[in-house]
Amino acid sequence: MYEEVESYHLINESVVSSQTILLSNVPFNTYSSIEYVIGVDSTRNVSGSQSGDLSPNLGMFWSWNTGYIMAKLEGYSQQSGAPDKSLAFHIGGFKGINNALKKITLNFAGGPLTLNQTGNPKITINCNVKEWFVNPNTISFTTTHNVSSINQTSKLLADNYADMFSIKSIQN
């Protein structure tokens, strides 16, 4: 098992450089899965605004309600019930019944991955954004087009995006 220290990474689809995460000093060993959390743990969530990928300047910190946005999706859809057809989903919450923290575990389907001195593996992870709205909870843009508070709907969306990832490939 390997755990990255200070492992907060903000993935922004519009910033190509943020879509690659380089893990350094991973011990040579055999691994059968990769695990990560979408969101910011409770300790860091109640510590106020911070730096790096947790900087409030990156648009993922609610200054009006101390805490971080765990996942954000914005855009437009003709199915949106908003007058301008906009969509805005800012999902947060790290405790209680509306906790949006999601642990993701992706098993290596082809068998264990062995890290040694000769390899520099690259794991490519797919993200199916449609999962935000279809499984296990169907979300209609007609009635749900703006979520920016911690509530039952934000929890339903977090439950949905928990399974939007899959391993596309592993290159050794």
**CA dist., res. 10 & res. 165, Å (int):** 16
In a domain, 3, yes or no: no
**Residue 65 CB partners (closer than 8 Å, separation 6+):** 92, 149, 150
In a domain, 8, yes or no: no
R_g (Cα) of the chain, nearest Å? 18
Q: Which amino acid is at 108?
A: F
Residue 71's SS3 state is strand
Structural domain for 99, as ranges:
16-171
In a domain, 5, yes or no: no
pLDDT at 54 over 80: yes
Question: Which residues is 106 bridged to in the sheet?
Answer: 34
Q: Looking at 18-27, 67-76, 115-124, which range is the least confident one?
A: 115-124
In a domain, 75, yes or no: yes
Number of domains present in the structure of the chain: 1
Arithmetic mean of pLDDT, 142-157? 95
Q: Looking at 28-42, 62-76, 93-107, 146-160, which range is the least confident one?
A: 62-76
